[in-house]
Amino acid sequence: MKTDKDLEKDINEVDTKTLFKYLKESKDLKIREILIERHLYIAEILSKKYANRGIDYDDIYQVASIGLIYAIDRYDIDKGFEFSSFATPTIIGEIKKHFRDKGWTIRVPRRIQELSKKVNNAKVTLSQELQRSPTVEDIAEYLNSTEEEILEAMEGSKVYTPQSLDLTYDSNGDDKDVNLADLIGEEDIYFSKIENNDFLLRAMKKLNDMERKILIDRYFNNKTQVSIAEELNISQMTVSRVEKRIIGKFRKEMEKTLN
Which residues lie across from 178 on neighbouring strands? 169
User: Given this model, what pLDDT does residue 4 score?
Assistant: 46
pLDDT lower than 70: segments of the chain: 1-13, 54, 101-109, 156-199, 256-259
Look at residue 168 and give its three-state secondary structure: strand
d(CA 30, CA 36): 10
User: Given this model, what pLDDT does residue 258 score?
Assistant: 58
Q: What is the pLDDT of residues 180-200, one digit of tens each?
A: 555 554 445 555 555 566 667
d(CA 240, CA 246): 10
User: Given this model, what pLDDT does residue 64 score?
Assistant: 92
| Phi/psi of residue 49, nearest 5 degrees | -65, -25
Q: Kindly report the pTM of this predicted structure.
A: 0.42
User: Given this model, what pLDDT does residue 161 score?
Assistant: 46
Q: What is the pLDDT of residues 72-109, one digit of tens each?
A: 998 888 887 888 888 899 899 888 888 776 655 545 56
Number of C-beta neighbours around residue 114 at 10 A? 11
User: Given this model, what pLDDT does residue 68 score?
Assistant: 92
User: Given this model, what pLDDT does residue 259 score?
Assistant: 54
Rounded to the nearest 5 percent, the helix, strand and coil shares of the chain are 70, 0, 30
Going by DSSP bridges, is the β-strand pair 178-179/168-169 parallel, antiparallel, or unpaired? antiparallel
Helices (H), 108-188: 110-130, 136-143, 147-156, 180-183
| In contact, 55 and 48? CB cutoff 8 Å | no
Q: What radius of gyration do the chain's Cα atoms show?
A: 24
Which residues lie across from 168 on neighbouring strands? 179
- Domains, the chain, in order of start with CATH, read 206-258 (1.10.10)
User: Given this model, what pLDDT does residue 69 score?
Assistant: 92
